[in-house]
Amino acid sequence: DARVTQTPRHKVTEMGQEVTMRCQPILGHNTVFWYRQTMMQGLELLAYFRNRAPLDDSGMPKDRFSAEMPDATLATLKIQPSEPRDSAVYFCASGLPLAGVYEQYFGPGTRLTVT
């Protein structure tokens, strides 16, 4: 049963620390998304990649956030330095557009708490 995996599942850190979240997309999927979910803002798209190249990162605060895909099996989202307002659940999703359907498969999320 192919799934998107994310690590860590939970992260508590102090303000100012670097946070790295990792995602392993489903094998063969060529598109990877990073979302942030908060009560106030709902689900926000931060960035997404197609064939490891960034297509859109307009939703991401550039000064502290960075997203990369070092290879086809790993996507990373880094926050440096972290701030309390970054506390949220961060989801990774992957997909492969087939026959015009663009279904995304979500990982379980990383719950980040910045104190």
Partner 1 sequence: AQKITQTQPGMFVQEKEAVTLDCTYDTSDPSYGLFWYKQPSSGEMIFLIYQGSYDQQNATEGRYSLNFQKARKSANLVISASQLGDSAMYFCAMREGNTGGFKTIFGAGTRLFVKA
State the residues that interact with partner 1 by CB under 8 A.
Answer: 31, 33, 35, 42-43, 45, 48, 50, 55-56, 89, 91, 93, 95, 97, 100-106, 108-109, 111
| Shortest Å, Cβ 44 to partner 1 | 8
| Shortest Å, Cβ 2 to partner 1 | 13
| Cα radius of gyration rounded to whole Å, the chain | 14
Would you say 81 or 105 has its CB closer to partner 1?
105
| Shortest Å, Cβ 28 to partner 1 | 16
What is the C-alpha to C-alpha distance for residues 99 and 10, in angstroms, rounded to an integer? 36
Would you say 8 or 16 has its CB closer to partner 1?
8
What is the C-alpha to C-alpha distance for residues 1 and 55, in angstroms, rounded to an integer? 28
The SS3 call for residue 73 is: coil
| Shortest Å, Cβ 111 to partner 1 | 8
What is the C-alpha to C-alpha distance for residues 110 and 29, in angstroms, rounded to an integer? 20
What is the C-alpha to C-alpha distance for residues 105 and 111, in angstroms, rounded to an integer? 18
Would you say 9 or 14 has its CB closer to partner 1?
9
How far from each other are the two terminal CA atoms of the chain, in whole angstroms?
36
